[in-house]
Amino acid sequence: MTPTGHAAKAATGTQTVAQATSAGHVAPVIGEDWLSVWIGLFIFVLSLGVLAGLDLLGWGITTNVWTSLDKALAPVSKAYAALPGVGSLVLTYAFLLVVMSCGALALRIPIARFAGGFTFVFWASYVCWIVGSWAYIAATSDKLKAFGIPWSLNLTAEAGFLVALVAGLLVGNLFPGAIDATRDAIRPEWYIKTAIVILGGFLGVTAAERLGLATAVMFRGLCAIIEAYLIYWAIVYFVARRYFGLSREWAAPLASGISICGVSAAIATASAIRARPIVPIVISSLVVVFSCVELLILPFLAQGFLYDEPMVAGGWMGLAVKTDGAAVASGAITDALIRAKALAVQGVKYQEGWMVGTTTTVKVFIDIFIGVWAFILAVIWTSVIDRRPGERARAGQIWERFPKFVIGYVVTFLVVLGVGLAAPALVAKAKAAMAEANAFRGIFFVMTFFSIGALSNIRNLWAEGIGKLAAIYVVCLFGFIIWIGLAVSWIFFHGIRPPLATG
Amino acid sequence: MSGQNRIADGGRDADEPLLPVEKRLIGWSLVAGLVLLGALVWLSYTFFPAS
């Protein structure tokens, strides 16, 4: 079962731990992590057709900011301008249904159940995106006159992500039956990892234009490893053990969940210290719920007082928001909100993607060391704390726990960066190609938001008696993690600003 | 489910005082973290300045 699956079961309380651990599912052909890599690469490779004059994904849907619904939808490429927006949306749905259903087959998910669930997630998410793109919600200040409206919330089209999150929360908490029926397709980790693989290419073309800045940002991203593993983890573990009296079995996975990367870190740590299955399940659920809270608060906080330091805001999201999905999503919203505010207040138009690129860099650096940290904990636990005869931690566990989607992200990033550096004349075409891939990335994003919300059944979690764990989470997250993250991000990223957008 | 009681109780079966190895893990992590952060700040601004 995937981490998301674990979290889902606990969040809804529909399955006992015993059932969850002994369900006897047939082993999947491929893990969700590798599947994200292959699906992301498949879309990425198709988009590269533009470099050879083949527009293979130009029919993909994009959502424009709108005042009239018939203007909301359009194909991403002008080459397909004759295709109606609704036709483009249906084509996109059909394409993704086929691709993701192939993935579901590989994961051994019953195909009919997955297809039904995916249909629900796709359309619910996309309707949210369309709603969020309404000009009164999304239009930036420089576009008010063009839309002929006197005001807007200035939230940009990424407001659709927040609408999707709220819609997911409402459905998950008010209609849990609907979530149970579609659970096979409510997989935020799968969607966001696929999106991150595609995002690598988009950031690669951005970096190709400003290599020096991109290198500096990437090197500074290393700070995240130190902060998450050596500072956050130690403090959270100490607070949980010393002041809340948690056992080691709960404290170590909780520290990893709060400090490192939510779900996967909690599961890796629990496995490393041989905690009972209930431990990572409950903690993962808690992480997902708190990610929603952070997602709804931090980007707006960043917009409020960090619009003059955009890269600090981007780094902050990566350091403070847990789970890959929520962190990168927060980065995307922060990117949009700060660009909108900088334009409105300072008249400065920053290039898109640098803030979410910083968030993603920070998050990816954090992710890649989960296996190493789990190995270190396994060594300490098996050799000192919980010593059992004949047991030793294996170095191979580092690779087993390595988040494989990072490989996809690095590959797409380097391929596009390489193309841009080797043949600068191709940068314009590479940009067009990545714009097409990016349309699909946006869809995976919005489905991630909806899924995160849908999995967060707050009432059932509370009923399971996790108030104390939640208290520790609140104390640590809002007591120091957010603020240390802000301070470290400030130290490393202050004074760095994205390039200005042209046109 | 026994797990629920344990969660509500903070996951505590019996008192588990901090062992010396846990204290060392916490202490060394923090010291190493602060030292490495300092080193990384210096490296970043010296070798990878962002203008």
Residue B46, min C-alpha distance to chain A (Å)? 11
Q: Is A244 near chain B, with CB under 8 Å? A: yes
Tokens of A497: 């600003």
- This complex has an ipTM of 0.86
Residue A40 φ then ψ, to 5°: -60, -45
- Mean pLDDT throughout A265-293? 79
Tokens of B20: 């010396």
Residue B24, min C-alpha distance to chain A (Å)? 10
Report the alpha-carbon distance of residue A39 to residue A47 in Å, rounded.
Answer: 12
Tokens of A45: 């490779």
| C-alpha neighbours within 13 Å on the C-beta side of residue B42 | 6
Q: How many residues does chain A have?
A: 503
Q: What single-letter DSSP state applies at residue A483?
A: H
Query: A462 Cβ partners below 8 Å, 6+ apart?
Result: none
Nearest to B26 among A219, A220, A234 (CB): A234
Per the structure, the count of domains in chain A is 1
Helix (H) or strand (E) holding A165: helix A159-174
The answer to whether the CB of A393 falls within 8 A of the CB of A386 is no
The answer to whether the CB of A252 falls within 8 A of the CB of A265 is no
| Pairs of residues, one from chain A and one from chain B, whose beta carbons lie less than 8 Å apart | 117
Binary contact (A468, B18; C-beta < 8 A):
no
Within 8 A of B22 by CB-CB distance, chain A residues are 237, 241, 248, 385
- Mean pLDDT throughout B21-41? 93
pLDDT surpasses 50 at A254: yes
**Would residue A22 count as lying in a domain?**
no
Angle between helices A278-305 and A3-12 (to 10 degrees): 90
Report the alpha-carbon distance of residue B39 to residue B33 in Å, rounded.
Answer: 10
Residue A270, min C-alpha distance to chain B (Å)? 14
Angle between helices A32-47 and A405-422 (to 10 degrees): 20
pLDDT surpasses 70 at A37: yes
Residue span of the structural domain in which A379 resides: 3-13+27-493
Binary contact (A223, B19; C-beta < 8 A):
no
- Mean pLDDT throughout A358-374? 83
Report the alpha-carbon distance of residue A241 to residue A257 in Å, rounded.
Answer: 15
Q: Is A379 near chain B, with CB under 8 Å? A: no
Q: Is A245 near chain B, with CB under 8 Å? A: yes
Q: Is A475 near chain B, with CB under 8 Å? A: no
First to last CA, chain A: 48
Residue A395, min C-alpha distance to chain B (Å)? 20
Q: How many residues does chain B have?
A: 51
Q: In the structure, what pLDDT confidence band is assigned to residue B11 with cuts at 50, 70 and 90?
A: low
* Tens-place pLDDT, residues A165-183: 889 989 988 998 888 899 9
Q: Which residues pair with A90 in a beta bridge?
A: none
- Mean pLDDT throughout A182-197? 90
Q: In the structure, what pLDDT confidence band is assigned to residue A20 with cuts at 50, 70 and 90?
A: very low
Provide the 10 A C-beta neighbour count for residue A279.
Answer: 29
Angle between helices A111-132 and A427-454 (to 10 degrees): 110
The answer to whether the CB of A44 falls within 8 A of the CB of A427 is no
Binary contact (A212, B25; C-beta < 8 A):
no
* Tens-place pLDDT, residues A477-500: 889 989 999 999 999 999 989 999
Q: How far is CA A165 from CA A73, A96, A281, A454, A456, in A?
A: 21, 21, 22, 8, 10
Selection from A186, A99, A174, A159 nearest residue A329 by Cα: A159
| C-alpha neighbours within 13 Å on the C-beta side of residue A124 | 28
Tokens of A318: 């990566």
Mean pLDDT across chain A: 85
The answer to whether the CB of A490 falls within 8 A of the CB of A313 is no
* Tens-place pLDDT, residues A49-106: 999 999 999 999 999 999 998 889 999 999 999 999 999 999 999 999 999 999 999 9
Query: A283 Cβ partners below 8 Å, 6+ apart?
Result: A250, A253, A254, A257, A266, A270, A469
Nearest CA in chain B to A225: B33
Q: What single-letter DSSP state applies at residue A500?
A: B
